[in-house]
Amino acid sequence: MKYNEKAVVYSCQVDEQWFDLSVDLLRKALVITPVNPTHPFELPPSSNNVIDFVNELGYPEPVEIVSNIRVNYVYQPWRAILTLINQCLTGKTSGSDKPRHLVLQMLWGIVTQTNVDHAELLWEEFTQGI
């Protein structure tokens, strides 16, 4: 696997064939498009707004830092959704896992039914994990 900074793609080799992996390819593969072409994707919230969102979901203690949030302390059904996203992205299954900021942004998009570019968030999570 090689990263091409100029093209912002990862060139991957499977057997003897090379292909480019990018956010656009991920978006096409997952069929993630704006619901209405006249309303483009909205930006997910910043850290402070994610913290406010988690507090509004009924987190049992006031959250001041995203890294203090634990999946087990989030109320159902949000805990189930966070666990699924976390498990798919990281392979972690522990309830004491700390969801990353991008995962919380995905949850925000799902709960608020906001037209968020989930492929972009998945891509960022993927590239941070490499």
Take residue 7 and report the two structure tokens written for it: 């093209």
30 occurs within a structural domain: no
The pLDDT assigned to 11 comes to 83
18 occurs within a structural domain: no
26 occurs within a structural domain: no
Place of tokens 């978006």: 27
103 occurs within a structural domain: yes
28 occurs within a structural domain: no
Single out the residue of 94, 98, 112 nearest to residue 52, CA to CA: 112
Query: Which residue range forms the structural domain that includes residue 60?
Result: 35-129
- Structurally, how many domains does the chain consist of? 1
- Divide the 130 residues of the chain into consecutive groups of 10 and give the mean pLDDT of each group: 80 81 75 68 88 89 88 84 79 71 88 84 78
The pLDDT assigned to 33 comes to 65
64 occurs within a structural domain: yes
